[in-house]
Amino acid sequence: MVEPLNALRAEQVAVETRALNVFYGDTQALKNVSLPVARHRVTALIGPSGCGKSTFLRCLNRLNDRIPGFRMEGKVRVLEMDPYSKHTDLIELRRRVGMVFQKPTPLPMSIYDNVAIGARSHYGLRGKLLDEVVEQALQRAALWDEVKDILKRPALQLSGGQQQRLCIARMLAVDPEVILMDEPCSALDPVSTFRIEELMIDLAKDHTVIVVTHNMQQAARVSHYTAFFMYGELVEYDASKQLFLSPQQKATEDYISGRFG
């Protein structure tokens, strides 16, 4: 059982937005979104395409800034940091808040270096210790067996699903406290999907995980809490059991039962 959202104490909230409005030029992508995210839990974000899920994730580690026309209002707090304060160290923010993107983003370098890059730059790891971190990250991302003999090969030669797991490994190697995953399983086969779902559940023992998914069964299986967005608004947010078994809003019910979206 998970705590009802309204029973969360301040120290149990790892991430929070208050009255968050986001615009890209004339398009308003998020409307007055106030969303506390529970520490050491998996929170799923669901909703039809274009409803603002990726935008929400990108606000948490300040990845929207460079998008032309981007503007935001409201408050964002991640751990004890305000990502938008000029006093916030962006390098520290990105170390403590890891992200896996909707489209895989391998760097034009070897498989090994893709995973090692963050552990090297943030922690100065080298040699055997770095090898161990790389292997462990690839194991947890369910990719090790496929790449252990080709670590020096360019990552861009991997398949789409392998690239996605490589990006998960790259994120894990830095061991961020908050993990943002944007449709991490969309390019994966059922076996890899199962292993990444197990990974999310396991990570939540000591990490805060926020995952965007279009797969309702996945949201119900892995998440403790689920937030349903539509047209940039947070329509319903609750413990996942509650939201999937007895949604309070008609729109939520229609969406989770596949009537639209």
Tell which one of 4, 18, 19, 27 touches ligand ATP (CB under 6 A). 27
CA within 13 Å, CB half, 211: 33
Which of the stretches 5-13, 23-31, 84-92, 248-256 binds ligand ATP when contact is defined by CB under 6 A? Answer: 23-31
Q: How far is the CB of 50 from Mg ion (least distance, A)?
A: 8
Which of the stretches 45-53, 148-156, 161-169, 247-255 binds ligand ATP when contact is defined by CB under 6 A? Answer: 45-53
Contacts to Mg ion from residues 45-84, by CB under 5 A: 54
213 scored as a contact of Mg ion (CB under 5 A): no
Contacts to ligand ATP from residues 62-81, by CB under 6 A: 67
Residues in the chain: 261
- Contact residues for 256 (Cβ-Cβ < 8 A; gap 6+): 46, 216, 228, 243, 244, 247
Distance separating alpha carbons of residues 135 and 141, to the nearest angstrom: 10
- DSSP bridge pairs for 35: 17
| Residue 50 binding partner per list Mg ion, ligand ATP, none, with a CB distance cut-off of 5 to 8 Å that depends on partner kind | ligand ATP
β-strands 42-46, 70-78 pairing: unpaired
Tell which one of 33, 42, 46, 52 touches ligand ATP (CB under 6 A). 52
Which of the stretches 9-17, 21-29, 149-157, 203-211 binds ligand ATP when contact is defined by CB under 6 A? Answer: 21-29
Tell which one of 8, 14, 15, 29 touches ligand ATP (CB under 6 A). 29
Give whichever of 50 and 154 is closer to ligand ATP, judged by the CB atom: 50
| Residue 17 binding partner per list Mg ion, ligand ATP, none, with a CB distance cut-off of 5 to 8 Å that depends on partner kind | none
Give whichever of 49 and 85 is closer to ligand ATP, judged by the CB atom: 49
Task: State how far the alpha carbon of 109 is from the alpha carbons of 92, 98, 150, 155, in Å.
Answer: 24, 20, 13, 6
Tell which one of 3, 32, 50, 186 touches ligand ATP (CB under 6 A). 50
β-strands 42-46, 208-212 pairing: parallel
Identity of residue 226: T
Q: Which residue has the tokens 């070897």?
A: 110
Give whichever of 54 and 208 is closer to Mg ion, judged by the CB atom: 54
| Residue 261 binding partner per list ligand ATP, Mg ion, none, with a CB distance cut-off of 5 to 8 Å that depends on partner kind | none
Per rule CB under 6 A, count of chain residues that contact ligand ATP: 13
Q: Which residue has the tokens 């809490």?
A: 225
Nearest alpha-carbon partner for 15 in 247, 157, 225? 225
CA within 13 Å, CB half, 109: 9
Whether the CB-CB separation of 169 and 141 falls below 8 Å is answered with yes
SS3 state of residue 181: strand
Using CB under 6 A as the criterion, which residues of the chain lie in contact with ligand ATP when the complex forms?
24, 27, 29, 47, 49-55, 67, 102
Using CB under 5 A as the criterion, which residues of the chain lie in contact with Mg ion when the complex forms?
54
